[in-house]
Amino acid sequence: MTLKAKQEIENADVIVGYKTYVKLIQPIIKNKVEVLSGNMGQEVDRAKAAVTKALENKQVAVISSGDAGVYGMAGVVLEVAAHENADVPIEVVSGVTAATAAASALGAPLVGDFAVISLSDILTPWSLIEKRLRAAAQSDFVIVLYNPQSKGRKEPLAKAHRILLEYLDPKTVVGIVKNANRQQQESKIISLEEMRTHEIDMLTILIVGNSTTKVVNGKMVTPRGYTI
Ligand SMILES: C[S@@+](CC[C@H](N)C(=O)[O-])C[C@H]1O[C@@H](n2cnc3c(N)ncnc32)[C@H](O)[C@@H]1O
């Protein structure tokens, strides 16, 4: 998290968030703060609860993991507040998104152009995800894959893997990071052809290198183009 995010959480009267993320920030939540936590899939309800509390003149912190503006709660809170004509000031506080957190664990894979794609087809149709995957792979972007797979949603990653292999060398460098920047952080550098044999879950992010990405002293590096 950023220092500003930590300060806002410490100054809040009410904290609203998915229960797993609320647990992660427990050490910095003050005793008397009201905490409204909920489940995955209840994002609109959480945004509505946050707006209601803000209309009661409470200082509310809605939390996401990483950066609230990257597949996080920032958009839905702004949409709900506008929909309800709620006249409350809203500030989006930036955080450290999983892509850059994972990149630092792996080395420096994102120093050039990269594309970020979520494999979750809950809110985005698979046809659009596939179109974006093909475009990114054809354009030699480094590709960051958020939401790769969960216990009940394994097919998108299998399909994405097949699509990437249509365009990329099977030896393309891939970085896998679980729990980036958290105590239980794990990272591995493998090849695209090996990707499906590794344990990948919803706490994991994948960085698929481009045609120039290489492993340098055990670190994943995409050269920026400097002559060394
Ligand atoms: C709904 S998105 C939320 C992204 C988050 N707002 C961010 O900026 O990182 C959830 C996905 O982000 C990725 N993710 C979030 N935190 C992570 C972490 N600490 N380590 C690895 N991946 C993470 C995983 O791919 C996970 O399935």
Summarize pLDDT for 72-87 with one digit per residue, the tens: 999 999 999 999 999 9
pLDDT at 152: 83
Nearest to 187 by CA among 178, 198, 174: 178
Distance (Å, whole) CA 212 – CA 225: 10
Q: Are 115 and 50 found together in one domain?
A: no
Average pLDDT, integer, range 148-170:
94
Residue 210 lies in a domain: yes
Show the tokens assigned to 104: 């630092």
39, pLDDT greater than 90: no
What's the pLDDT band for 30 if we cut at 50, 70, 90? confident
State the pLDDT at residue 196: 83
Q: Ligand 1 centroid to 205 CA: how many Å?
A: 7
Domains of the chain: total: 2
pLDDT of 70 > 80? The answer is yes
Q: Which of 120, 131, 129, 138 is nearest to 205 (CA)?
A: 120
Q: Is 33 helix (H, G, I), strand (E, B) or coil?
A: coil
Tell me phi and psi for residue 125, to 5 degrees. Answer: -65, 145
Whether 181 and 153 have beta carbons less than 8 Å apart is answered as no
Give the integer Cα–Cα distance in Å for 70 and 144.
12
User: For residue 175, is pLDDT > 80?
Assistant: yes
What is the domain range of residue 51? Answer: 3-83
Lowest mean pLDDT among 43-47, 100-104, 147-151, 191-195: 147-151
Residues 59 and 148 reside in one and the same domain: no
Tell whether ligand 1 has an atom less than 6 A from the beta carbon of residue 102.
Answer: yes
Residues 117 and 213 in one domain: yes
State pTM to two decimals: 0.96
| 116 shares its domain with 202 | yes
Q: Is the CB of 62 under 6 A from ligand 1?
A: no
Mutate to test the pocket of ligand 1, among 64, 122, 205, 208 (most ligand atoms within 8 A of CB): 205
Residues 12-19: what's their mean pLDDT? 95
How confident is the model at residue 203, as a pLDDT? Answer: 95
